[in-house]
Amino acid sequence: MNRSMWGAAFAILLLAIALGVVLPSWVVFLLTLGLAKGLAVLSVVLLMRAGLVSFGQALFYAAGAYAAGFALRRAGIQEAFILLLIGPLAAMGLAALIGLILSRYREIFFGMLSLAFAMAFYGVLVKAYDITGGTDGIGIPPPTVLMMPLATDRLRLFTYYLALGCVAVMLYLIRRYAHSPLGYATRAVRENEVRVAYLGGSVQRAIYLTYVLAAGLCGLSGVLVAFTVGHIDPQLAYWTTSGEFVFVALLGGTSSVAAPLGSAILYEVIKSYAFKYAPYTWQMVLGVIMLVIIFFLPGGLWTLVERAPRSRRGQEVQG
């Protein structure tokens, strides 16, 4: 990234920090939610760059949120920064196990299997009423910051800055990853698995690593959303949550690291306004916007997303 891009990024960061104090509280809430969920959308994009569409990211999103929830409510761990670590770690632990299975599949089967795991987790969250509170969920009290309790009027601003900080750090890390050999190798897996193997690379390993990394992002997202909303419930693991992440990911396209964040924020804003003015039709509005973009935006966001036509991907090697 050259000087001018760093400068622009820095300027945006400063602007974002300033906006936190300037904008009305409910706007800050929306921005925070957008940033937080944007990380989950980013995880979907990460997997898409490897050629995989996951319909089960909500699993890690919920796992992160509930891990933080349990730590807060049952284990008495109140420190925000520790909770921010617990969520992703729990999610990555889960992914390390599930990834062993999932990394052997592609396309529809990968999507369906990831969906199955997420829905199974949803079932557990609902049924294990005594532990998880069932469909009522768990309330998330405000965490402490560096061991100090947070004043309630400061909570919203703090959560916003927390989300902003996490996003900034994650964007940097993901960007580094994207420019590294592993980042390119993962893209190469999407382009041509056979060639990757014939360069000595382990395709399965690349996918497994990407899967675990993506899970970590989702787990972090879950913790942040738990802080922002103050309440978690099994809906976090439902297929529509995963679907929402995929939807937003495709809105922004997969070619840039920051686009998922932008589209996530935009989505939350649109959703909020749409819900306010058209509570029974906001989904319809969203769906129509989506279709309009797909069909009428000439070569719009989609050329970034569409992979090369079948004939150019990993050709049949048999002679």
Partner 1 sequence: MNTLFIILADGLVYASWLFLIGVGLTLIFGVLRILNIAHGSLYALGAYVGAVLVIAYFQDPDRWPFASFFLLLVAAILVGLVVGPPLERGLLRRMYGRDPALQLIVTYAVFLILEDLIKVLFGVNPYYAYKPFGLLGNVSLAGVNYPYYYLLLLLVAITAGVLLWFFVNRTRFGRLVIAVIHDAEVSTALGINLPRIYVTTFTLGVILAALGGAFTAPMIAVVPGIGVEVIVLAFAVIVIGGLGSPEGAALGALIVGLVRAAAVHLVPELELFIIYLVMAIVLLVRPQGLFAQAEVRRI
Partner 2 sequence: MRAILEVENLTMHFGLIAAAESENVTVYEGEFVGIIGPNGAGKTTFLNLVTGYLRPQAGRVRFRGRDLIGLHPNQVTALGIGRSFQIPQLFAGLSVLENVLLALAMADGHGGDFWRRLHDPARVEEAQRLLVRFGLNGHAPRPAAELPEGGRKLLDIALAFALKPSLLLMDEPTSGVSAAEKFALMDTLVAVLRESKVTTIFVEHDMEVVRRYADRVLVLSHGQIIADGTPAVLLEDPEIRRAVAGWG
Write out the two tokens for 133: 């509170």
Give SS3 for 19.
helix
- Interface mask (CB under 8 A) for partner 1, residues 69-108, using x and -? --------------------------------x--xxxxx
Find the binding residues for partner 2 in span 180-199 (CB under 8 A): 180-185, 187-188, 190-192, 194-199
- Interface mask (CB under 8 A) for partner 1, residues 109-148, using x and -? x--xx-xxx-xxxxxx-xxx--------------------
Number of Cα atoms under 13 Å in the Cβ half of residue 85: 5
316 binds, among partner 1, partner 2, none (CB under 5 to 8 A by kind): partner 2
Distance CA 148, CA 62 (A): 27
**Residue 11 near partner 1 by CB under 8 A:** no
Taking the complex as a whole, the smallest distance from the CB of residue 235 to partner 1 amounts, in Å, to 11
Distance CA 305, CA 55 (A): 17
Taking the complex as a whole, the smallest distance from the CB of residue 89 to partner 2 amounts, in Å, to 18
**Residue 277 near partner 1 by CB under 8 A:** no
221 within 8 A of 64, measured Cβ to Cβ: yes
Q: Determine how many CB atoms are found less than 10 A away from the CB of residue 107.
A: 10
- H-only helix segments in the chain: 3-22, 25-49, 58-73, 80-102, 107-127, 129-132, 152-178, 181-191, 193-197, 203-229, 239-252, 259-277, 282-296, 302-305
Q: Mention every residue, 6+ apart, whose C-beta is less than 8 A from residue 280.
A: none
If the CB atoms of residues 153 and 316 are measured against partner 2, the closer one turns out to be 316
If the CB atoms of residues 177 and 282 are measured against partner 2, the closer one turns out to be 177
Beta strands 138-139 and 231-232: pairing type?
antiparallel
120 binds, among partner 1, partner 2, none (CB under 5 to 8 A by kind): partner 1
**Residue 201 near partner 2 by CB under 8 A:** yes
**Residue 314 near partner 2 by CB under 8 A:** yes
Angle of CA points 139, 140, 144, to nearest 5°: 155
Q: Determine how many CB atoms are found less than 10 A away from the CB of residue 150.
A: 15
Q: In this chain, which of 11, 288, 312, 315 binds partner 1, going by CB under 8 A?
A: 288
If the CB atoms of residues 64 and 201 are measured against partner 2, the closer one turns out to be 201
If the CB atoms of residues 63 and 249 are measured against partner 2, the closer one turns out to be 249
Distance CA 160, CA 175 (A): 22
H-helix or E-strand containing 139?
Answer: strand 138-139
- Binding interface with partner 2 (CB under 8 A): 176-177, 179-185, 187-188, 190-192, 194-203, 205, 209, 307-308, 312-319
Q: Which residues bind partner 1 (CB under 8 A)?
A: 48, 53, 101, 104-109, 112-113, 115-117, 119-124, 126-128, 193, 203-204, 239-240, 243, 246-247, 250, 280-284, 286-288, 290-291, 294-295, 302, 305-307
